[in-house]
Structure 1
């Protein structure tokens, strides 16, 4: 009856593993959040559509085919997207790898050997084999009994061993389940970071396109101003020679020309640097062509989506990533706690061994072994205890980080909404100033035609129109940029994008 004891012990241990299995440590729960009930709704030039869903290609609302094509190219060629995709795939592979620990390990091994056993170790010979042969050292009559040398002789033999080994670590206290939970959370972190990379890349290209259009408008207006100042200086030089103006007036016009020329190099520098940025974002080589943009071609979306505050935490990729980091930290507490509890393992092996390859699995060569073990750390200098304490502190830090990320998300939305409101006011003021400047120019042109105003007054009025045009262009670009920033702040509509 004793021959059944190993099987009964193995079965009992397996049964205990199934019945006692539980995942120690805290089960994840989202922390309580004090969310605002509403946003400050402003911007008379645009209308907020509460709870309107955000389309995944929101930039198409600006109705610029060149912009749309550039973003599609960037998503296919930007190395940052490629890196984020690789990180996501690596995290998914880690999940698959962790899932493998739920299954037994099975290994097959074959070990051939050739051994020379010293005659002085005669008692350690393999002995009689299944085919009737004997592998043994030679043992002659010892000298004490009248024998003569040699008293023994070594033996040289071949031996073959093949075996199948099965090992299994029961997840009694859920350490593996917690590790899988942590790996899955990290995979989700990479997923949301990839979504954030898509949204950020699109937003950066949109902002750079608006900047390109603004700089083109500013450079054109500054060049017109320089040309007007050059014409004014030529006229002033003639008037100085005729005695109609003083040297002081002529010097003032020289200063105006110099000041207008000073404005051009910084704008040209910004323009070229912005073009370089567009190339990098879109994955275009340094000497590649980049489309140009014009402010007049962009359409300002009139209906802006506005998510409920309670939905923002579900839509922002950075908030979702922070929550998954929190979920991973929660699982790490369970992993550390399980490490302080008894560790179980089961292993078994079966095979054959013989001096001849073909005889390994004769009845005489077969063997098996079943082993179960339980280990419990009794003293480790407090290592496991402090690792659990560290995991708990990391969990508290992750909670704080999550709440901080949520607060930052709401601040981001609030800042953009206030910026849109300010943009609307700034645009109205700039439009009014531009209209006033144009009206003044028309009046000056009529007075100049009748001889009531000189050429310098007309040039000054034209300069005022161009300066008002620069301010108006800045206000338009700012409104376009902040409108795009709202789509990004609300999550960018990634949940409506097809899997790539």
Structure 2
């Protein structure tokens, strides 16, 4: 529940960021279209250039979809918080970029994995089944009762206080249980214990696999985000150079539109990667069991 609530919050922030990028891209492409249209009216460019600039202004098409995804993430967050869409936290509504990830702890990884509910359940089940073996083994012992008896009797040949004698003797009685049934129960308990041990081993292996996958996916996406960030920076420079040269008359409009399209695609890809990385970090949180702020590194 904590992980999915976090995911919904991060999705809302990520889609808000992607929406802002799409709106900025639309404004940039629309401004280029406005300038080309003004040039066409002034007679410096033809109608073909205007239509080509209009065709390049496609960033607006992504806005409705991103708005819907942003609203869906907010509604999901409200549902997970047990509230109505009217009570969505203001912080989620105003968030425009996913927050930085919490640093992973360094230390005993086993203490992290033991926070996972599936491993805790498997561990308790194994402990319970192991305890049943001891209970079943106890049934092999006979039922024993230990008591005593006292007899007072008179010895007529002895006079005085010595005429009373006291005798105590232990009484030991026992009965054996149905040994075959008890041993069958032991074998059953041992089999159940073996099954629980196998289930526990499987749960541990599954947890390790999920941690490895989550770490790998998050690391690779982080690397991809860095590459996309560099591509976006270079695309911005290329677009700035193309715009300056176009105004100077050294390049044509097509060069500007190509550079602009590359820039808009790079910004959109970077925003999508940021959203994916946020979700992968939640997967990593879940695979490690979460709650590591309480763990001393």
Q: Same fold (TM over 0.5)?
A: yes
The TM-score range, normalised by the shorter chain, is 0.5 to 0.7
In structure 2, relative to structure 1, the CA distance for the partners of 1:496 and 1:261 (3 Å cut) is closer
Q: What is the aligned counterpart of 2:88 among 282, 289, 294?
A: 289
The CA distance in 2 between the partners of 1:490 and 1:281, in whole Å, is 21
Tell me what 2:65 maps to: 266
Q: What is the aligned counterpart of 1:306 among 106, 110, 131?
A: 106
Q: What is the aligned counterpart of 2:130 among 320, 324, 330?
A: 330
Does residue 434 of structure 1 match 2:232?
A: yes
Say how many residue pairs are matched: 263
In structure 2, relative to structure 1, the CA distance for the partners of 1:436 and 1:375 (3 Å cut) is same
Segments of structure 2 that go 5 or more residues without pairing to the other structure are: 146-172
The CA distance in 2 between the partners of 1:307 and 1:413, in whole Å, is 15
Q: Is the 8 A contact 2:15 2:275 kept in 1?
A: no
The CA distance in 1 between the partners of 2:69 and 2:108, in whole Å, is 38
Aligned pairs for 1:125-274 within 5 A: 201-228=1-28, 235=36, 244=46, 246=48, 250=51, 256=56, 260-274=59-73
Tell me what 1:404 maps to: 202
The CA distance in 2 between the partners of 1:255 and 1:329, in whole Å, is 69
Q: Is the 8 A contact 2:144 2:175 kept in 1?
A: yes
Does residue 319 of structure 1 match 2:119?
A: yes
Q: What is the aligned counterpart of 2:75 among 276, 281, 297?
A: 276
In structure 2, relative to structure 1, the CA distance for the partners of 1:288 and 1:344 (3 Å cut) is farther
In structure 2, relative to structure 1, the CA distance for the partners of 1:340 and 1:273 (3 Å cut) is farther
Deviation at residue 487 of structure 1 after TM alignment:
4.8
Deviation at residue 444 of structure 1 after TM alignment:
1.5
Q: Is the 8 A contact 1:342 1:377 kept in 2?
A: no
The CA distance in 1 between the partners of 2:143 and 2:80, in whole Å, is 51
Deviation at residue 207 of structure 1 after TM alignment:
2.4
Deviation at residue 414 of structure 1 after TM alignment:
2.0
In structure 2, relative to structure 1, the CA distance for the partners of 1:433 and 1:495 (3 Å cut) is closer
In structure 2, relative to structure 1, the CA distance for the partners of 1:279 and 1:310 (3 Å cut) is closer
User: Per-residue CA shift, 1:269-298, capped at 9, x if unaligned?
Assistant: 3222211221122222243223222227x2
The CA distance in 2 between the partners of 1:255 and 1:397, in whole Å, is 65
Q: Is the 8 A contact 2:246 2:256 kept in 1?
A: yes
User: What SS class does the counterpart of residue 86 from structure 2 fall into?
Assistant: coil
Tell me what 1:449 maps to: 247
Q: Is the 8 A contact 2:56 2:261 kept in 1?
A: no
Segments of structure 1 that go 5 or more residues without pairing to the other structure are: 1-200, 346-371
Q: Which has the higher strand share?
A: 1
The CA distance in 2 between the partners of 1:204 and 1:317, in whole Å, is 15
Aligned pairs for 1:20-39 within 5 A: none
Deviation at residue 468 of structure 1 after TM alignment:
1.7
Q: Is the 8 A contact 1:206 1:484 kept in 2?
A: yes
Q: Which has the higher helix share?
A: 2
The CA distance in 2 between the partners of 1:423 and 1:225, in whole Å, is 24
In structure 2, relative to structure 1, the CA distance for the partners of 1:314 and 1:254 (3 Å cut) is same
Deviation at residue 437 of structure 1 after TM alignment:
0.8
In structure 2, relative to structure 1, the CA distance for the partners of 1:319 and 1:409 (3 Å cut) is same
Deviation at residue 304 of structure 1 after TM alignment:
3.4
User: What SS class does the counterpart of residue 304 from structure 1 fall into?
Assistant: coil
User: What SS class does the counterpart of residue 290 from structure 2 fall into?
Assistant: coil
Q: Is the 8 A contact 1:424 1:479 kept in 2?
A: yes
User: What SS class does the counterpart of residue 287 from structure 1 fall into?
Assistant: helix
Q: What's the TM-score once normalised by structure 2's chain length?
A: 0.68
The CA distance in 2 between the partners of 1:323 and 1:405, in whole Å, is 9
User: What SS class does the counterpart of residue 270 from structure 2 fall into?
Assistant: helix
Q: What's the TM-score once normalised by structure 1's chain length?
A: 0.43
In structure 2, relative to structure 1, the CA distance for the partners of 1:277 and 1:269 (3 Å cut) is same
The CA distance in 2 between the partners of 1:340 and 1:285, in whole Å, is 61
Q: Is the 8 A contact 1:325 1:398 kept in 2?
A: yes
Q: CA RMSD in A?
A: 4.2
User: Per-residue CA shift, 1:155-180, capped at 9, x if unaligned?
Assistant: xxxxxxxxxxxxxxxxxxxxxxxxxx
In structure 2, relative to structure 1, the CA distance for the partners of 1:269 and 1:392 (3 Å cut) is farther
Q: Is the 8 A contact 1:228 1:463 kept in 2?
A: no
Deviation at residue 470 of structure 1 after TM alignment:
2.3
